[in-house]
Amino acid sequence: MLLIIIAFSIAFFFAANIGASGTAAAMGSVYGSGALNSRRLAVILAAVFAVAGAILGGGEVVTTISKGIISSSSITVQVTVIILLSACTTLFIANRMGIPLSTSEVTVGSIVGAGLAGSGVYWQKVLFIVSTWLVIPFLAFAIAFVIGRLLSGKEDMWRRRWPRLIPRLLTILLIIAGCYEAFSAGMNNVANAIGPLIGAGVIDTTSGIWIGSLFLAAGAITMGGKVLETNGKKITKMTLLQGSIVSFTSGSLIIGASVLGIPAPLTQATTMAIIGVGTEKAGWHLFRKPVIKKIFAVWFFSPISSLLMTLALMQWLLYQSPALIICVLASVLFAAYYKFFQKVW
């Protein structure tokens, strides 16, 4: 019973951190372009539409997380605690750094770590998921860049021709786009917190989605401001039209992935779409900005860190294996290399 309580506690804390990282980042374009100047209102809207997305369309990704990566028979309550603890710790650190991190990546990394230590991994499925992580962000970049290029100068022209009407219409359009993106976040991200619980059989899918989405919303409202600031203001300043391009691009890609049951990197898609419209406007030197390099570094190292952490905890807590020493050393060396990488890149 104590382990079940611990598993639920970590899962709901994880859901709150997912809300901070994912749904708040979904409103980055709305906040960054000035359509909404209130951070508080932006994260509240993100929370509401994320809950709607989770309840109406989160089931397919839940199935993948709960039994599509490793056998559900190997996901015991103890294993669930370790998976959630590793993923949650990695995400919490990224949130404190203000970095928009994919919760799907750290969750899948943790589950793969559990599979490596236990009954094995469905590698074909994992390789397919990882391939989408590579494709979706750069597809978001390309789409946003091309659309931004095609519509370059149009917003200024429209403003001169209809100075009162167009700003209002574009503001409404962008707020709708941000809510649409938050909806996609709910569809894809709530599974990361409650999928392991469902795999362990301690809660049913419907109840898990409802409760998990409420904690996700709470996290967006209470902890999402810093990530919202990074996505909205520190990468590049966007116009209303550019913000709409970003949100509709990333939101559509993630909804498509969710329908297919793929745990996809929403924050990567959003951030790369922002970089796409920013590159069209400011040039390729945008990639040299320190915040961009920091984001890329965290994206690369976080899923591997969660995998190593899960593997080490599994060896220590469940198997009392001497392999723990190797895992710990690997984790320490990996962390040291990450710090070095941050300094020299």
Render pLDDT for 289-328 as a digit per residue (tens, 0 to 9). Answer: 666 666 676 677 777 777 877 877 777 777 666 655 555 5
Who wins on pLDDT, 223 or 143?
A: 143
pLDDT in tens, 148-205: 888 887 888 888 888 888 888 999 999 999 899 999 989 998 888 898 889 888 888 8
pLDDT in tens, 195-226: 888 988 888 889 999 999 999 888 888 877 77
- Phi/psi class of residue 262: alpha, beta or left (left: φ > 0; alpha: ψ in -120 to 50)? beta
Give me the pLDDT at residue 184, please. Answer: 93
Q: What is the mean pLDDT of residues 222-248?
A: 75
Q: Which of 295, 44, 50, 335 is nearest to 187 (CA)?
A: 50
Q: Is the pLDDT of residue 344 over 50?
A: no
pLDDT in tens, 91-124: 777 666 666 567 888 899 889 988 888 778 899 9
Quote the pLDDT of residue 143: 94
From the list 100, 131, 136, 111, the residue with the least C-alpha distance to 255 is 136
Q: Which among 53, 46, 89 has a CA at the least distance from the CA of 217?
A: 46
At 121-138, the pLDDT tens digits run 899 999 999 899 889 988
Query: How many domains does the structure of the chain reveal?
Result: 1
**Neighbour count for residue 165 (Cβ, 10 Å):** 11
pLDDT of 70 higher than 90: no
Which residues, including other chains, have CB under 8 Å from residue 153's CB and lie 6 or more apart? none
Rounded Cα gap, residues 94 and 137, in angstroms: 19
pLDDT of residue 137: 86
Residue 139 has pLDDT above 90, yes or no: yes
**pLDDT > 50? residue 337:** no
Average pLDDT over every residue of 240-256: 90
- Phi-psi domain of 121 (left: phi exceeds 0; alpha: psi -120 through 50; beta: other): beta
Domain that holds residue 75: 2-344
pTM summary value = 0.83
CA distances from 109 to 113, 122, 130, 252, 299 (A): 6, 13, 10, 24, 12
Say how far apart CA 302 and CA 320 lie, in whole Å: 25
CA distance 336 to 345: 14
Question: How high is the pLDDT of residue 269?
Answer: 86
Per-residue pLDDT, averaged over 140-145, amounts to 92
237: left (phi over 0), alpha (psi -120 to 50) or beta: beta
pLDDT reading at 144 higher than 50 = yes
Q: Tens digit of pLDDT for each residue in 1-26?
A: 788 888 898 888 888 888 877 766 77
What percent of the chain is modeled with pLDDT above 70? 81
SS (H, E, C) the chain: CHHHHHHHHHHHHHHHHHHHHHHHHHCHHHHHCCCCCCHHHHHHHHHHHHHHHHHHHCHHHHHHHHHCCCCHHHCCHHHHHHHHHHHHHHHHHHHHHCCCCCHHHHHHHHHHHHHHHCCCCCHHHHHHHHHHHHHHHHHHHHHHHHHHHHCCCHHHHHHHHCCCHHHHHHHHHHHHHHHHHHHHHHHHHHHHHHHHHHHCCCCCHHHHHHHHHHHHHHHHHHHCHHHHHHHHHHCCCCCHHHHHHHHHHHHHHHHHHHHCCCCCCHHHHHHHHHHHHHHHHHCHHHHHCHHHHHHHHHHHHHHHHHHHHHHHHHHHHHHCCCHHHHHHHHHHHHHHHHHHHHHHC
Whole-angstrom Cα distance, residue 22 to residue 56?
A: 18
